[in-house]
Amino acid sequence: MNQFSRNLILWAIISLLMVVLFNLFNQPQGTQARLTYTEFLQKVERGEVLRVTIQGQKLVGETSEGKAFQTYAPHDPELVSRLISQKVEVKAEPQEEAPWYMTLLVSWFPMLLLIGVWIFFMRQMQGGGGKAMSFGRSRARMITPESARVTFEDVAGVDEAKEELSEVVEFLSNPRKFTRLGGRIPKGVLLVGPPGTGKTLLARAVAGEAGVPFFSISGSDFVEMFVGVGASRVRDLFMQGKKNAPCLIFIDEIDAVGRQRGAGLGGGHDEREQTLNQLLVEMDGFESNEGVILIAATNRPDVLDPALLRPGRFDRQVVVPTPDVRGRKRILEVHTRRTPLATGVELDVIAKGTPGFSGADLENLVNEAALQAAKVGKDTVDMGDFEYAKDKVLMGKERRSLILSDEEKRITAYHEAGHALAAKLLPGSDPVHKVSIIPRGRALGITMQLPEGDRHGYSRSYLLNNLALLLGGRVAEEVVFNDITTGAGNDIERATKMARKMVCEWGMSEAIGPLNIGEHGEEVFIGREWAHSRNFSEETARLVDAEVKRIIEEARQRCRTLLEENIDSLHAIAGALLERETISGADIDILMRGEPLPPEKPNNRGTAGGVAARAGERPASGQGDAASSTSGAQPAPGTAGTAPRTAADADAAGRDEFTLEADDSGSDRGSDRSGDRSGDGSGEAGR
C-alpha cells in the first residue's frame, strides 16, 4: 500500500470520528427529564416550576424539587406572561447552532469520500503494485536464481531440447563466446509438443540454471474483460524485463494470446489482436530489447500468427516430443529417485512396455504404483505394483461388481479369443501380452499387445494385418455362434476409418493411386480434426467407398479363413478365459500347441506377468501416423506430428474417431482398445 492510500484511509477514519463526536455532543444531557408540553403547563399551574430558560422552541428548566427538565413549546404568545404570573424565573437565550466547520463537514463529507474512493481505484488501475484492481500491471511472477529448485538434472528424455536451451543459458553467462564472431542470441525460443512432454518443466529448469531473473506468466493472463488491458500488461511485462536485464520471460500456453489475426470469432475490434500486436512490437519493434529473451510453450503451433514465428521474434522452434524407450527409462529413473524399489524392478522393461507415453504419463504411473504398494502395506514398490498401476491407468479399475450372465461371458470370451488368435496367426503383428474378460472401466474385455519397440512408420502389409486383427472378434462370433452382437461396433468403426485413410491419405489403393482426397483441418499435437473440405467429384467418392468396402471385406475373409482353420485353438483360448478370466501371451502359445495350462499362480488372477502394453499402442508424436497395437490395432488417424492416441485419452476427451456414440441397440461405442468388448444394453463401452 502506497503513501497516498494510507493517507486517504487515515483521513477517512478521522472524519468519521468527528461526525460521531458531533452527534454525541448534540445529544441531550442524560440528567434532564423530558416533559410533554401539557405536563409542563400543569407543573406551572401547580407552582412546581422555579425557573425556565427559553432557547427558541426549546424550554429548559428546574422544578421546585431541584430536578432539571426540558420540553418543546409550540408558538404560544401568552407563555411568558403565564410563567411570570406564576412567579417563575424566566431567562431567554439565543438558539444553539452547530459550528460552521461541522456543518460543512456533514454536508461535504459523503462527496469527498466518493471522490477519494474514485481516485484510489484509478491509481490502482494505473499501476498499484499487484492489487486486485491493477488491471494494467503484468501478473508475471518473478523467480530468482535462489528460489528456483529445478535444474536440467531433473529433466530427462528430451536431450535435443535441453541442448537448445543450454545454449541460451550459456549465452547469458558468457555472451562474448558467441558475439566475438558476430553471432547474436536468439530473441525467442518456442517450445512445441504434445501435452505432458515437459515444456513447462524445461522452462523451470532454465530458470534454475540461468542465474538471471526469470519472469513466468500464462498466455491467458493477458486477456481481461477491459479493452486495452492485455496490451498494457505486455508493455509492463517487457518494461520489468528491461529493468532486470539480462533476464528470461516465459509465457506458457502462448496460443491463448498469439492466435493468427483475422481468424477469431469476435467482431472487427478484437482485444486479442491488440495484445498480439503489442507483443510483436515488444519482441522486435523500433526499440531494442537487448538482454531480454522470451521463451514460450504451446501445443498448438498451427494456430499461431506467422508474424510471431518469424526470425527476429521466435528464432528457434524446439520440438519436445514424446520420449523414446531410452528417454522413458531415464524419466522413470528421475521419478523413482525418492521411491524405494524392490530388487526385481527393471525400469527398462517398464520403458519398453510404454511406447508413446509422455513424461506426465510416466510420472502418474510411478505415483499409482507407489500408492498401491502403500495401500497393501509394502515397504518397497515391486513389478507387481507397476503392473497394477499400468492396468489401472490404461484400462481403468477392475469392475468385479459388474455381474455378467454366463452367455455374456461366453460371447466376450470368444470375442477376445478371436482377437488374440488372429494376432498370433497374422505375420508381423505385435506379440500378445494379455487377454482378459474382467470388466475394466467401460470395457467388458480386452486384448493387449506389447510392441517390441517404438514404431515410426507403418507398411501396407502391417495395416492390412491390423484390419484383419480388428475384425477378429466379430468373425469369431460369426464362426462360433452363427450370430453377431453390438460389441464389435468400435472395431468396425476403427477398421472403417483405417481403411479410408489408407485410400484417401496414404495412397495405398491401386484403384485410387497416390492421391490425397479431402482436405482436413487438424490440430497438430492435439489431433482433433475440426473441418473437412470436399475437393473431389461424386464419381471419386463412389470409387473411394468401393475401395474401402473391398479392403475391409478382404480383411474379414482373410481373418475368417484363419479362425476356421484353427477352430480348436479358438475354443481352447475361450475356455481358458472362462476358467481363469485373464491369460498371458505365453499361455496362448501353450494352448495353441494343444497342451494344458500349468496351475495358476496365487494372487495372479486378473494380472499377467511382466508389464502390459496399452490396449492401443501409443506411437511417438511427430513420427507419422501410428497404428494402435491392440488386437485389431489401428493407426491413429491424423497427419504427421499428431499426438499419441490412447484409450484413456480418447475415452476422456471423446476426440475424433473415439467419440462416444450410442447406437440404436443401446450399446455405446468409443473405447480405443481394439480388444475391448462393449456390453449392449448396459451402456458399457467398448470392444
Catalytic residues: 416
Q: Rounded to an integer, what distance in angstroms lies between the CA atom of residue 138 and that of residue 130?
A: 8
Amino acid at 357: F
CA 328 centroid distance within chain:
23
Helix (H, G, I), strand (E, B) or coil at 581: coil
Q: Which of left, alpha, beta for 418 (phi over 0: left; psi -120 to 50: alpha)? A: alpha
Integer Cα distance of 499 and 325 in angstroms: 29
From 211, 206, 208, select the one nearest 189 (Cα to Cα): 206
Strands 519-522 and 68-72: unpaired
Strand partners for 570: none
Q: Is 420 exposed, middle or buried (0-12, 13-18, 19+ CB in 10 A)?
A: buried
Question: At 82, phi and psi to the nearest 5?
Answer: -65, -40
Q: Tally Cβ neighbours within 10 Å of residue 365.
A: 22
d(CA 419, CA 628): 14
User: What burial letters (b/e) apply to 84-93, b meaning 16+ CB within 10 Å?
Assistant: eeeebeeeee
Q: Are 316 and 164 in contact (CB under 8 A)?
A: yes
C-alpha to C-alpha distance for 252 and 220, rounded to whole angstroms: 9
Q: Is the dihedral of CA 161, 164, 165, 166 positive or negative?
A: positive
- Using CA atoms, how far apart are residues 518 and 494, in angstroms rounded to an integer? 19
Q: Which segments within 488-588 are labelled E, that is strand?
A: 519-522, 529-533, 582-584
Q: How far is CA 112 from the centre of its chain?
A: 47
Nearest in space to 574 (alpha carbons), one of 681, 651, 677: 677
| CB 177, CB 170: distance < 8 Å | yes
| DSSP class of 88 | -
Q: Residue 666 has which C-alpha cell?
A: 443401446
- The shares of helix, strand and coil residues in the chain, as percent rounded to the nearest 5, are 45, 15, 40
CB atoms within 10 A of CB 264: 12
Closest CA to 294 of 335, 333, 240: 240
Question: Could you tell me which residues come within 8 angstroms of residue 627 by beta carbon, excluding any fewer than 6 positions away?
Answer: 455, 458, 462, 463, 466, 498, 617, 619, 633, 634, 635, 636
Give the span between the Cα atoms of 527 and 179, in whole angstroms.
Answer: 41
309: burial class by Cβ within 10 Å (0-12, 13-18, 19+)? middle
Q: At what angle do helices 406-425 and 538-565 cross, to 10 degrees?
A: 100
Asked if omega into 301 is within 30° of 0 (cis), the reply is no
Please state, in angstroms and rounded to a whole number, the distance separating the CA atoms of residues 231 and 408. Answer: 62
Grid coordinates given for 612: 502390459
Give CA separation, 646 vs 180, 261, 605, 672, 684, in Å. 49, 33, 25, 6, 18
For 659-674, letters b (16+ CB in 10 Å) and e give ebeeeeeebbbbbbbb
